[in-house]
Amino acid sequence: MNLKTTTTVLLSLATATVCFGQVNNRTTVYVKPGTQVYVTGDMNNSLASSSFTLDQGALLDVGGDLNNNGTMNVQNDASILRGATSADGGSGTYNVIQLGGNAVGYNYWGTPVVNSGTVPGNSYQFTSANSTQDISDDNNPNIDPGWTAYNGSMTPGRGYAGASAGAVTFSDNAINNGNITPSLFATIYNPAATSGGSPFNLLGNPYPSGLDCAELVNDNPGIHGSFYFWIDDASGGSGYSASDYAVWNFFGSTPNTTSANGSATPNGLIKTGQGFMLRNGNSGPAQLQFNNSQRIPNTDANAFFRTNADESKLWLSVNGDGSEFFSQILVGATDDATTGEDLLYDAVRIHTNTGASLSAVNDQNNYAILAFPPPALEEVIPLHVFIGESGEFVFRADEMIGFQDLDVYFTDTDPSGTSTLLEEGTSVTVNLTSGNYDNRFYLNFMPNLTVGINEAEGNSIRAWAFGDRLNIERVGEFGDKTALQLFDMSGKLILDNPSQVFTANQTSVSLQGLATGIYVVQIVDENSVFSQKFIKR
């Protein structure tokens, strides 16, 4: 079916989806918000007076060639999709309008048109080869040399930082289409490095449509599957260093700060005009390939996530006196993960929050998202906490999914601290002075079935080790006298204490001098015997 228009045409929500074989437009077409227009063949905006406007959230999907000799307007979150081999032509004008995440602070931008002129607002570019790997903010006395002022044209596929930009119009006679291949810098990740460059690259969505993060990763083997999105904290640029990056990967996502400051949690969709940080592996590709198969409507939600019995996810946050101190991690178990760093499931922390920052630790690296295989016995995850100002801080289990077979404890090893079994909404309040905490807080994941002998109904023990300490917690009613015995897997008795002291049903034992491996701790009171395996790493 051909559509040859000679008068103004309104495509409304009453016909939310329309399909044409070919379109030859000679007048004014207005596509109302949310309407989807599919053209299986070619589309021609034929005359200089021809106008085609996609209102907010509308979609134009052209399978053939797109020739524009008039004006095509793409409003905020509207999208133009293309076929794999479709070409562009014509001498008309495209106006692609997109709202920044914040109208007064910094946004990361990419250009959807071939030649967009300057970056919106007061602008910066990021050069990975010059950057330290600790991506610092400009308030830091030692400004990261990777960030430099910029006032040139935007290169499609590259990302830029720009301040004080709300609605931005990208205008040109051509929009980006087909393969876009910006270069990538690759180096070993070392957050302590002060030279040698960073594996993080600042990139930007080059299309007037959304991009599917999962498809972009699948098309570029060797890159890490975690995407970092910057959203200012709405302080007008004066306090943006109190925000974290929002992060998405194949295991889940975390926001950059509280929703009160305008942060959305990433859903695997990169919108038109949106920039992002992406980490390249030290042997990763020299170029990133964007292509039309990765394009999706700006209104789509990524459907990759699934919840099943084999996955357990905990979103844990620290939130001090004021939302500017908010920092959140995602930690959990999935069968697809390994105990090392996984390209798709683990996202290292980019430290930008100068108020408070929370990270999970694995192999001496700090992570915003960390996944591991379901533990046979236990999994101990150390936490790194940075506090910028002394005060009262609350650790909170914001959300927990799939913990039918696992228990997780938040452990504070301070002499006044406790071990707390977490449920969704559980919070632990701690007074902290400013500084770094690397060996105080831990998450302990373990199967929720205790192996015991002659166990009294309702009684149980929990045991987990980190470093050279074994921690034991009794649950239920126990007698006055408690003995503690420790065995290796051959049955050899290593420790025998007939009068172990428990305080508030908790105790700890030194494991110093013991080899790494699996052991059994046995607790004997007047009526019962309890035993549990644990791992000394």
What does the alpha-carbon distance between residue 69 and residue 301 come to, in Å, rounded to a whole number? Answer: 33
Specify the pLDDT at position 388: 87
pTM of the model: 0.87
Give residue 210's pLDDT. 96
Q: What is the pLDDT at residue 257? A: 66
DSSP secondary structure of 463-527:
EEEETTEEEEEEES---S--EEEEEETT--EEEEETT---BTTEEEEE-TTPPSEEEEEEEE-SS
pLDDT at position 169: 92
Residue ranges with strand state E in 84-229: 88-89, 93-99, 106-109, 122-126, 147-149, 160-163, 167-172, 200-204, 210-212, 223-229
What is the Cα–Cα distance from 94 to 172, expressed in whole angstroms? 6
**Per-residue pLDDT tens listing for the chain (537 residues):** 345 444 445 555 445 788 988 999 999 999 999 999 999 999 999 999 999 999 999 999 999 999 999 999 999 999 999 998 889 999 999 999 998 866 567 789 999 999 987 888 788 999 999 988 876 544 454 567 888 999 889 999 999 998 766 788 999 999 999 999 999 999 999 888 878 899 999 999 999 999 999 999 999 999 999 999 986 554 544 445 556 789 999 999 998 765 433 446 889 999 999 999 999 988 889 999 999 999 999 998 764 444 455 789 999 999 865 556 788 999 999 999 999 999 999 999 987 777 889 999 999 999 999 999 998 788 999 999 999 889 999 999 999 999 988 899 998 988 888 889 999 999 999 999 999 999 899 999 988 754 333 444 557 788 888 878 898 888 777 777 789 999 998 889 999 999 998 888 888 899 999 998 889 999 988 778 888 888 887
The two three-digit tokens of residue 227, written as one number: 């995407």
